[in-house]
Amino acid sequence: MPEIPATSRRGLLFGTAAISAGALLTACTSNEPKTEKQPADNAPVADDKPGKAVTIGFAGPQADHGWLNAINVNAKSRAEKYSDVTLEITEGSNDTAAQIGQVQTLINKKVDVLVILPADGKALTQVGLQAMKAGIPVVNLDRIFASPQAYRCWIGGDNYGMGLNAGNYIGEQLKDKPNAKVIELAGLDNLELTKQRTQGFDDALKNYPNLRKVARQAADFTVESGQAKMAQLLQAQSQFDALWNHDDDQGVGALRAIAQAGRKDFLMVGGAGARSAMDAIKADNSVLKATVLYPPTMAASAIDLARALGQGKGVSGMAELEIPASLTLYSAVVTKDNVDEYLPTGFN
């Protein structure tokens, strides 16, 4: 999540709850019976009837952020559910040169399919092209390559949709309040995804003439930055009605700053879907009233897609014989009314 573009509106927007794209991506043969069961992680299970053996190479991120760690956990746990899948996993890296070398090693091992969440989509485009030219289909996860020729399928989150749904939720809560003031705690401003989240939020606010954004501060997707930047916002803004925070990791710090300031006079909406945020929403004892999902279960669904590609299967519930070229997940809003449904997907 915190890095480079997931061109949020690039793919098909599937409007379902983002418990997992696996709800749609059951990645099974349409004319085979499907065995459904509910696993511990609450992600809908794809067709688990053993088929052709598939070796999947997974090159993921360094787990230096809650969401990034959840990506790796989801990929590993999903692969373990299939007796016909062998997962060749690299050590997570945010260094582009190191990750390129890791992917080239997987190509040389002649894995059947690659799942890659690139440290930098543009920088890893060439190695994606290399894999595709070697006849190894690539599932490009979240941070998108610069060329569609570098992947067979892209699956990722909807950054614009996150901001849009956060803005609409806040708008509905404050629609009857005259001259309502809103502030924004964004992520890293040099990332395209941050710009997309802000754009979606701003577009949503246009639907509510009584709302006005009075301040915006960028943080760094860390607890420490969230606390420091939120303290600055609180000092500068003596009164406001709602806060949209782009990331639940930095939201932990933001909530600390809010508690230290003794502020309870506004509502807060988070982003991504951390377990800590969902627990706070369920407890309903803080300003945090909602979080907008950016589901790391996309990694589990990427494994489903890779298995389907390796076995020559399509996606259950769709007429097409092939999996789609692009899948954009929906950014559901989690509130106290539906939090129990999403709690199992919350990440640490």
For residue range 177-226, list pLDDT tens digits in order: 999 999 999 999 988 899 999 999 999 999 999 999 999 999 999 999 99
Domain-located, residue 7: no
The CATH number of the domain holding residue 276 is 3.40.50.2300
pLDDT at residue 50, as a whole number: 85
Residue 175 has pLDDT above 90, yes or no: yes
Both 219 and 257 in one domain: the answer is yes
Separation between Cα atoms, residue 61 and residue 71, nearest integer Å: 8
Residue 43 has pLDDT above 70, yes or no: no
Domain boundary among 248, 267, 293: 293
Give the pLDDT band of residue 11 (cuts 50, 70, 90).
Answer: very low
Both 148 and 168 in one domain: the answer is no
Both 193 and 247 in one domain: the answer is yes
Mean pLDDT across 147-155: 98
Both 76 and 135 in one domain: the answer is yes
pLDDT at residue 167, as a whole number: 98
Both 174 and 226 in one domain: the answer is yes
Both 71 and 201 in one domain: the answer is no
Least confident of 156-160, 207-211, 238-242, 318-322: 318-322
Domain-located, residue 345: no
Compute the C-alpha angle 167/2/346, nearest 5°: 70
pLDDT > 70 in the chain, percent: 86
Q: List pLDDT tens digits, range 237-263.
A: 999 999 999 999 999 999 999 999 999
Domain-located, residue 346: no
Mean pLDDT across 31-55: 57
pLDDT at residue 61, as a whole number: 81
Both 16 and 142 in one domain: the answer is yes
The domain in which residue 199 lies consists of: 159-293
Both 210 and 221 in one domain: the answer is yes
Both 281 and 316 in one domain: the answer is no
Residue 329 has pLDDT above 80, yes or no: yes
Give the pLDDT band of residue 47 (cuts 50, 70, 90).
Answer: low
Both 28 and 108 in one domain: the answer is yes
Give the pLDDT band of residue 48 (cuts 50, 70, 90).
Answer: low
pLDDT at residue 320, as a whole number: 87
